[in-house]
Structures are given as C-alpha cells and as structure tokens.
Amino acid sequence: IVVEALVAGNDMLCLPENVGDAIEAVKKAITENKLTWTDINVKTRKVLNEKYDLGLFEVWPINTNNLVNDLNAKTDAIRKEVAEKTITLLSQAAFKASRTDYSGIPLPKNGKIAYVGIGSNELNTFGKRMKDDFGADVFLFSYKDGKDKAQEILKQVPKDGKYDAIVIGVHEYSLRPTNNFGISQAAIDLYKELNFIKTVTLTFGNVLATKNFCDAWTLAACYQDDVITQNAAADLLMGKFKAKGKLPVTVCSFKPGDGIVAAKTAEEEMQAKLKVIDSIAQDGISKKAFPGCVVLAAHKGEIIYHKAFGNYEYETSSPKMTAESIFDLASVTKISATTVSIMKLYEEGKIQLDGKLKDYLPYTKNTDKEDLKIDEILLHQAGLVPFIAFYKETIDSSGAPKPAVYAAKQQKGYGVRVAENVYLRNDWQDTMMMRILKSPLGPKNKYVYSDNDFIFLGKIVEEITGLTLDKYVQKTFYNKIGMYSTGFKPRNRFQLECLVPTETEKHFRQQTTRGDVHDEGASMFGGVAGHAGLFSNAYDLSLLYQMLLNGGELNGERYLKPETIRLFTSYNSKISRRGLGFDKPEKDNAIRKDPYPSLLASPKTFGHTGFTGTCVWVDPEHELVYIFLSNRVHPTRDNNKLGQLLIRGKIQDAIYRALGV
C-alpha cells in the first residue's frame, strides 16, 4: 500500500504502521523501477517547499490557550472541504446509458426516493438526510441479515417505476480486506437485485471495497464513514456541489486518476483562482506583515470575494478578525471623506477648482498660503510641507503629554479627546492651524505629498457647509448609502470589540490606540480631519466606491454626476500620477520594475492607500472594486513588511488574473 500510494501521486505517507518497513518497501520499488529516485526527490522538494512557505523552518512557540476548541473548529472546516473535494464519481447513469432522463447524481427534484442502507440496523446521518431532505422511504440491511430480510426489501422496492431513484449506501464495513471487508454475500446479492438504471450506489470507507459494486449504474466512492462525509454525500445528491475527486488506486477496471468531474463553470473557475488570495494573506500573517486583514473584491456590482484573516493582534488568543471588523483607514480618509465632499460642493457651484484658499478660508489672507489654488492642493502641488509633527511640542523629554496642554479627563478647557485619558486644550487647534500657516512654502508645480493639503480641504468643507466634516459627509453620503460602520470617532457608536487596534505607542499617547485615530495630527483635531480619522469595515466602504464606479448612482439614488467623477479620477497633472484628490497608477507602469498599484490596473483606475495598512482601488475599465484593510502598524509602525512583500499588489494581481485580465 505504501508504494501504491506514492505511485498514485501522494507526496507524503501519513502514519504508516511501520516506518522501517515503509522505507524498505520504497527502496525495493526503486530497484524494481516502480519508482525512481527522481520521483522521491520531487516529492521531498514539494513537501519541504510547502513547509518553507508556511514558515515551518522556524520554531514558533505555540499558545495552548483554548487550543482544543480552536483546532476542532478549524479541523471540521478542513474535513468538510476534504470530503467534498475527494468524493469520486466513478460512473453515472446518464453517461453509461447515453440517456438524459436518468442523470443519477444529483437526484431528481421532487422525485419519490427509496433509500437502502446496507451495513447497519440503525439510521445514521446519511440515512437521516435521505429521510429529511428527500422524503425517502428508508430500508436497513445489516451484514448479519439474510435472504429473508432481503426479500422483504425487494418486495417493497420494486423496479416497476414506483420510485424515481433508489439510493444504496454501503456502510460500516472493515478497513481491512479480510473476508471481503466484512461485507456479507447476502448484502452483495441485495445490491445486485436493486442495481438498475435508476439506482445510485455510494460506498463509505476503504475505496478498495468498491470492487463489489463496480457494475453500478451510478457509483460514488466516499472514502470515510463519518458524519462529515455522510453530510457531504447528501449535499452531493442534492446538487450543492459537483464531484471533483479522482481515484487514488486501481479498482476493477477503474484506474488511478479516474473520476467523472463536471466541467467547471466560469464562476467556479474564477472562484478557484481567487483562492490564491487566501495563501497571500496567510503568508503575510505568518511573516508578521500584519496581525490580520480583510479583503474584498466586487466585479460588475457583485461581491466575488470577501474574507477575513488572522486576529486583532499577533497573539492567537486575541479576537479573530471578521468581515465586519472596523479599521482605521488612515489616508484613505482623503478620498473617502474629503475628496467626495469637495466633489459634491464643486458640482453644486460652491467651490471652484481655480479658486484660491483665501476665497474659502478668510484667516489665510495676508499669508503666503492665501493664493494657493484648490486644484493645486488636490494634486499635492501647492508647495505645502508633507506634515507637521504637532504633538512634539506638546510632550516632555520622556515623551509624556505636558500637563499644561493635556488633561487626564475631559473638563472645562480640555474637551478635545486625543486618546483614552488624554484630552487636549480647546485652543490648541488654533495653534496647529497657525503652525501650518507659518510653515515654509516650497515651489509650486512640484509634487510633494502632504497631509496639510487635506487639512485645509477639510476646513474648506466645514467653512462652506457650516457643518463639521464628519457630520457633512455622514449626512450627504454615508447615511443615505447605508454605510453604517463608516464614520469618524467610532467609539461613540460601536463597542470596543468591533474596532481593530493600531499602534501601541511608547511616545505621546503611551497606549494601544483602538477606536481613536492613529494619526497624531488627526487625533489632536479631535479625531476629525481632512487627511485622516475615518473608520469603516470593508463592505460599507465598498458601497461608496461602487457608487463612484456606477457613475455616481447607487440603488436608484444619485449622489454625484458622472462628469464630476470622470474629472476628479482622471490624470490631472503633467508632473505626477495624481488625479484630483485620488491616487492613480504610475503612467509608466509597463516599464517599471515595481508597477503601482498593479501592472494589470488600467489607466482609468483610481484609489488611495493608507498608512495603517489599507487601500482601495477602483478600475472602471474592468468594473472592479478592490479593498484591502489591515492593521500593519500593530504593535509598531516600524513594521514595513506589508510594503516590502508587496502584498496589496499581489492580491490585486490575483483578482485581475481570476477575472482573466
């Protein structure tokens, strides 16, 4: 059996009874040319490569807390997947008789079914499914029963058309071939009498015992006789999935590799290719690029992939990441809140792209910032410095907040929440704006990515609308669209358990930030700023970008005009890749060593990335929305593996390939 398993294509031998004998058997097979050393080397390399990819070349301490429950939950899911993928359809009545009126599997809908359970006197899981799901009449025949019991069953299960299908399940036979696996002759005779074009036979256990049923009109080998496999077999008969298994050994005239596999639909082919994303995400976690992530892809308005991986923290005892987990979006705020607000105000005629900063923010007059144009600010070409570390002048030499600037609880004069037990003086935001106004101004027409650009834009939205940025965007977009998780200051609306932690700061806030914005500047603006502060789960965020992909409309409601979206998401600069507010692919992607964000992204693509480990990209040419959310800054921002491993781009590439781009 050891040699047969290797010849059949297995790369590993799982728990052979005698390891020494197994090794000697393999050596003998090599001398007899049944196997070659090349075969063994190839199999060994595959196993070692897989171990390397999973990080098993290093010793990792295992957290045993709740280990049994964790393993059982994962094991059951894996066993179900294995059962569904291995069930092998060896013959099918429709093929055998060249007829279409008797397909075999799946069973006819609303048909009258008889189920004959061979091998047991008690109704097992498969029998219960036959009775409950198909309304089958059930008949049981054990290996101790004889001809009299068989005759009783045959009288009640005629071949005269009373039943649209007869299902035979062969159970509880021995794994060992002694005495024909313990299958009685009476049981085999009963099977032969029942076997005709409408009969479906399934064997549960050692596949070699299937030799007794090789003439079955419809025959499926199920390999195990446990609850999970029996449920999978019932699902197969219901048509919930199609048989994919291949026979590992020779049985009767069936050879290794035999198995009737239905041609995959285009949807199934795509889903199979999308599973590559699972490996990329898990690889990122194993290499500690991030503790967990959520990936979403929508194509032509339909979600084709939406999965969560990992945990909130690297400790496996921490909460598991879920599809509903709410992330700090970091700079994705720039387009998901500020830019869409500017777009709305632009098409309402309340802001002009060639307008100047002084036209909207009176306090910028008589400064060197007053003539900065709105389109230049959106393009990061206004000459503003990249950022100002506002917090540095508010902490002492040990990195702790200065008592003169912060209070440990909210009180009069200290109402700006920065973090847990950290409240900023109310007047300090004016100081921050003054720091921006007095910051040196660089040359125009030079691309310098700047948070200060979007701090100004957020203030413009507030000045024009009379509402704070968070209230305006919530009222104008999020509430109407149904983006229930999306918004600023999520601790006001959600339990802490819903919110993914970001950095454990040793400076400034000196705590693990969770539900308070990670960006120091945005936190000092009270969690609401034009450049950072927005939180969301992946699904709700996808609704906003589906609306933009749809040309400004979603579920019959119009939010923006198509021409506005085209203007802002197109290339708008001769010196950079930027749109108005939006990031875009590099213009020379075709010749770049590391294309951004993906070589397969069309020039119409628009989106943005975020410092905390996030991104959103929309490709109108391929009708695709792609979202990746992670907390790569936990526990420290110094972890740059997400970028070094190009994980966001690899996942985006995998989505394009699955779509056939």
Beta strands 137-141 and 113-118, pairing class = parallel
Q: Which of 85, 67, 89 is nearest to 77 (CA)?
A: 85
Q: Residue 166's pLDDT band (boundaries 50, 70, 90)?
A: very high
DSSP state of 478: I
Joined tokens for residue 575: 């010196």
- Work out the average pLDDT over 641-658: 97
Structure tokens at 573: 């600069």
Given pLDDT bands bounded at 50, 70 and 90, which one contains residue 224? very high
Over residues 145-155, the pLDDT tens digits come to: 999 999 999 99
**pLDDT above 60: residue 99:** no
Alpha helix (H) residue ranges in 348-499 = 357-360, 374-378, 428-437, 451-465, 469-473, 479-481
Q: What's the pLDDT score for residue 50?
A: 78
Q: How far is CA 439 from CA 263, 386, 432, in A?
A: 64, 10, 11
Tell me which residue of 148, 78, 156 sits closest to 115, measured CA to CA.
156
pLDDT band at 322 (very low <50, low <70, confident <90, very high): very high
Burial of 199: CB neighbours in 10 Å, binned 0-12, 13-18, 19+: buried
Q: What is the pLDDT of residue 63?
A: 64
Q: What is the share, in percent, of the chain residues with pLDDT greater than 90?
A: 82
Reply yes or no on whether the pLDDT at 100 is more than 60. Answer: no
Region for residue 309 given its phi and psi (left: phi exceeds 0; alpha: psi -120 to 50; beta: otherwise) = beta
d(CA 383, CA 453): 9
Residue 97 pLDDT > 60: no
Position 481 confidence tier, pLDDT thresholds 50, 70, 90: very high
**Range in 46-55, 340-349, 398-407, 470-479 the model is least confident about:** 46-55
Say yes or no to pLDDT of 98 above 80. no
Q: Could you give all domains of the chain from N- to C-terminal order, each with its CATH number?
A: 2-60 (no CATH), 75-262 (3.40.50.1700), 282-658 (3.40.710.10)
pLDDT tens, position by position, 175-216: 999 999 999 999 999 999 999 989 999 999 999 999 999 999
Structure confidence at residue 414 as a pLDDT band (50, 70, 90): very high
CA distance 268 to 284: 26
102 pLDDT exceeds 60?
no
Q: Give the DSSP letter of residue 387.
A: -
Q: What is the pLDDT of residues 21-79, one digit of tens each?
A: 889 999 999 999 888 998 898 888 888 877 766 666 666 566 666 666 665 656 787 89
pLDDT at residue 441 tops 60: yes
**Sheet-wide strand order for 606-610:** 302-310, 292-299, 624-630, 614-619, 606-610
The reported pLDDT for the residue numbered 108 is 86
Q: For residue 619, count CB atoms less than 10 angstroms from its CB and return exposed for 0-12, middle for 13-18, buried for 19 or more.
A: buried
pLDDT reported for residue 507: 87
- Separation CA 455–CA 521 (nearest Å): 10
* Lookup: tokens for 585: 């692919």
Per-residue model confidence (pLDDT) at position 179:
94
Q: Does position 101 have pLDDT exceeding 60, yes or no?
A: no
pLDDT of amino acid 53: 64
pLDDT at position 139, please? 97
Evaluate whether 606 touches 583 at the Cβ level (below 8 Å). yes
pLDDT at position 250 is 95
User: What SS3 state is found at 546?
Assistant: helix
Write the pLDDT tens digit of every residue in 2-14.
Answer: 888 888 888 888 7
Q: Is there a contact between 464 and 345 (Cβ–Cβ < 8 Å)?
A: yes
For the chain, give the mean pLDDT.
Answer: 93
Q: Please give the pLDDT value at position 74.
A: 60
